[in-house]
Amino acid sequence: MFTFVLARFFAALLMVSACQLKKDATAGTGGSATDSTQAMRDSAAYFAAKKAKRPKIVHDSTEKVIYLTMDDGPLRGSTYLNKIILDKKIKTSVFIVSGHIRGFGKYFEDFRANDFVEICNHSHTHANNKYLQFYANPQGAADDINQCDKLINTNNKAVRLPGRNIWALPARVHGITQSGGKTAEILREQGYKIFGWDAEWAHGAKSQAPVKSPEQFVGLINGIFKNKSMWTKNHLVILGHDEMLTTEKGRREFPVIIDMLLAKGYVFEHITNYPD
């Protein structure tokens, strides 16, 4: 009887020790690597560090630099975009419509946690897709941009106007004679930088799928560099849209395009490092 009780005692002691060892393995070190990383990314300190201004990167004049910019997120396609960016490890600037955050907040937070992603401003309402009406009130349109700025909480002041290929940088402007130009001027005076684009990875209006094959699109990019037909020599801004990644064709072809551009020796950079 005594032997049986003693055996039960030692078995219980072993179980307690095992539980303590398991607890100790995760205590004091912040838990598993995954738990520690998640805790860091959820912390205010992490996002404050990511938000902090970084020194501007200046590229050698012989380098051919691509600024990949994706508009309209967060949307359903944003989760695929984020995963591809992480997989390919390329710098990408996402122009956020802050009115979409309520419905797709998880995807917005995923962007924030992605060190390859730079978050920029694409307005709060996207003009409700009524561009002439939106820009008929230049100050109202600027206020909409300011609302987005407060919600996305970055300090880079990089903006793309909804539905307009307009540039307004500190020392130069382009395309401001069109509707939206007055809004760009107001924002420029407030310290924003307005970015247009040189080439669009275009999609079908209804299908949302890419209209050019990867070979055709990369051929377009090569031609622009060869002819120096971008706004700033050797600096090319590509426009795409998150919703294109909701299509199987978009998800299949986007990584192929990135690989083809990298194979050509192009350098990917964030839009905030675009020359003023």
Residue 203: CA atoms inside 13 Å, Cβ hemisphere, count? 22
Please state the domain count of the chain.
1
Strand partners, 121: 96, 159
pLDDT value of residue 228: 96
What digits encode the pLDDT tens for the residues 124-178? 999 999 999 999 999 999 999 999 999 999 989 999 999 999 999 999 999 999 9
Question: For residue 23, is it within any domain?
Answer: no
Confirm if 244 and 68 have CB atoms less than 8 A apart. no
Question: For residue 31, is it within any domain?
Answer: no
Provide, rounded to the nearest whole percent, the portion of the chain with pLDDT above 90: 77
pLDDT at residue 51 tops 70: no
Strand partners, 200: 239
What's the average model confidence in pLDDT over 176-199? 98
- We report the CATH number of the domain holding residue 104 as 3.20.20.370
Provide, rounded to the nearest whole percent, the portion of the chain with pLDDT above 70: 80
User: In this structure, how many other beta carbons lie within 10 angstroms of the beta carbon of residue 236?
Assistant: 23
What's the average model confidence in pLDDT over 115-131? 98
Please report, as a single letter, which amino acid is at residue 131.
Y
Question: For residue 12, is it within any domain?
Answer: no
d(CA 177, CA 228): 23
pLDDT at residue 14 tops 50: no
Question: For residue 26, is it within any domain?
Answer: no
Structural domain harbouring 204: 60-273
Confirm if 74 and 104 have CB atoms less than 8 A apart. yes
pLDDT at residue 241 tops 80: yes
Question: For residue 18, is it within any domain?
Answer: no
**Burial, 87: exposed, middle or buried (Cβ in 10 Å; 0-12, 13-18, 19+)?**
exposed
d(CA 160, CA 192): 10
Confirm if 127 and 162 have CB atoms less than 8 A apart. yes
Question: For residue 208, is it within any domain?
Answer: yes
Question: For residue 44, is it within any domain?
Answer: no
What are the C-alpha distances in Å from 27 to residues 14, 17, 43, 223?
A: 20, 15, 19, 57
- Mean pLDDT over each residue of the chain, to the nearest integer: 87
Question: For residue 49, is it within any domain?
Answer: no
pLDDT at residue 16 tops 80: no
Closest alpha carbon to 133 in 125, 121, 141: 141
Strand partners, 174: 167
pLDDT value of residue 3: 42
pLDDT value of residue 45: 56
pLDDT value of residue 55: 78
